Amino acid sequence: MRLDRWFDYESGYAWCESAYKYQTVSVVAEFANTVTNLPLIMLPLLNVLLIKPYIETVNWIVIMPHILLTVNGQLIDEISILWLLMMCLAAYFPVFSFYPQQYHKYIGRVRCAIAVITMVVSTFCFVKPSLNALVLMLWSIPSIAIIRHEAANAGIPEIISSPRKISVLWTAASICWVSDRVFCDFWLF
């Protein structure tokens, strides 16, 4: 099985249904896209209210990239998502609770390395677009580990259950993605 099949921008079918684009009026599709994006706008705002003690403890600037990524995740390109994630990593790196104190003098080098890696991956994404999807999927695994660690060490009871919820959502999204890639022909019938 080719790697491209797993990380292509699309499965080759319009929403995994070959006749979808011929059966649906574009206005209906736009309405469906608008309605399904409403939770992406409302849920982050609700989430901000739920984790208010964490925001007050850490600060709102650290939380803002997560909110913007959730709200605008459907509106920006994958390259933009990659750059946003890497910028957040470079900005947030010095305040990770697990980052050793003796290595704080190398933060500048770490940030430069992050920038170089981002530029290299972005360049390869123009040559091989499936690489970007692979990088984003691989990025999600350490992100969940960081979220788990930060939540466990935050000392705020309201946040302790967040990593479990995030893990469940990530697992559901991964299952849907694999299902689309492996069983797309099955879903057609």
Question: What length is written for the chain?
Answer: 189
| 30 appears as a binding residue in the annotation | yes
| 10 appears as a binding residue in the annotation | no
Listed in sequence order, the residues at least 6 apart from 143 whose beta carbon sits closer than 8 Å to its beta carbon are 85
| 139 appears as a binding residue in the annotation | no
Cβ atoms within 10 A of the Cβ of 61, count? 10
Residue 99, SS3 per DSSP:
coil
Tokens of 115: 């920038």
Tokens of 68: 């913007």
Residue (of 47, 49, 44, 55) closest to 156 by Cα position: 55
| 66 appears as a binding residue in the annotation | yes
Residue (of 84, 76, 73, 80) closest to 40 by Cα position: 73
Phi-psi region of 16 (alpha: psi -120 to 50; beta: other; left: phi over 0): left
Residues flagged as binding site:
15, 17, 30, 66
Residues flagged as binding site for Zn(2+):
66
Residues flagged as binding site for Ca(2+):
15, 17, 30
